[in-house]
Amino acid sequence: MINFFSNTKVDKVGIEDRVSRISKRSLKSDAKLDGLKMILSMIDLTTLEGMDTVLKVQQLCYKATHLHYQISNLPNVAAVCVYPNMVKTAVDALKGTDVKVASVATAFPSGNSTLEIKIKDTKEAIINGADEVDMVISRGKFHSGEYNYVYDEIAAIKEVCGEKVRLKVILETGELGDFDHIRMASEIAINAGADFIKTSTGKISPAATLPITLVMLETIKDFYYKTGKIVGMKPAGGISNSKLALQYLMLVKETLGPIWLDKKWFRFGASSLANDVLMQIVKQQTGKYQSKNYFSND
């Protein structure tokens, strides 16, 4: 087996201590408002259900580009994420905007299929116009110790994506067992060409957590110091409120620095988060909460 991994052991106590300290902090009003708008600009609005329809995707795209109709001076979200067969619908609905179209691929959410089918799945998304592809690693192969297989599969999908289409690699961290395995999976994905590493599909629990995200951020940092190459990060699943999302931003800033505080390099996979952020922005601006009924529930 090719040994292209550092075998770095994660300091579990250190990780949990840093997260604990960040979780106890608070932000001043101006900084909080700026942070909330930044969070909004980093969200990938997502619909990945069996009952997805053209109208549902169109409505999600409308929401992605019309948040400023509800509150002035708001940014659009970063992307809308859909299945490959819905990419064309999203592309048409988002034409002329700065919102990207992302698509899950590679037998999402299980990742349990042949490489041939995964490549076909990815090509369908790209042909239909996807700007970004969110792939799932083969966790069964990972748990069997077939790390080179996982590496080669990611590299093959990145080759299909090329330089134009950005590849987010989903580790499904809730199934990886411990911080050391999360670190190893992150290293495999990054070395294989991932543009982003992503915690979860959002289909199992636990999904994203602050400690898991910190382990992945530290892996990104070490790779950057070694190569000078920037890799993005996307925590996904379980981030439903603004307070928690702000803690993620603090974690990113203190671990990687301000360069990563941009939708180009950091995303939230959390559609339900958008409405809470909107409510918190109104609270910061007016001192009053709006009812949840004022915001579309997508």
**Secondary structure of residue 203 in the 3-state scheme:** coil
Catalytic residue among 32, 168, 198, 263: 198
Q: Give the C-alpha distances (Å, rounded to integers) separating 262 from 39, 40, 87, 104, 232.
A: 9, 11, 24, 22, 10
Q: Encoding tokens for residue 226?
A: 């070694």
Burial profile 78-89: b = 16 or more Cβ within 10 angstroms, e = fewer = bbbbbbbebbbb
Report d(CA 145, CA 108) in Å as an integer: 21
Is residue 182 exposed (0-12), middle (13-18) or buried (19+ Cβ within 10 Å)? buried
Q: In this structure, what are the phi and psi dihedrals at residue 105, rounded to the nearest 5 degrees?
A: -155, -170
- Torsion-angle region of 65 (φ positive above 0: left; ψ -120 to 50: alpha; else: beta): alpha
* 24 is annotated as an active-site residue: no
Catalytic residue among 32, 158, 168, 234: 234
* 164 is annotated as an active-site residue: no
* 298 is annotated as an active-site residue: no
Q: In this structure, what are the phi and psi dihedrals at residue 135, rounded to the nearest 5 degrees?
A: -100, 160
Q: Encoding tokens for residue 77?
A: 């979200």
Q: Encoding tokens for residue 249?
A: 């931003």
Angle CA 146–194–47, to nearest 5: 100
Catalytic residue among 121, 131, 134, 195: 134
Residues marked as catalytic: 134, 198, 234
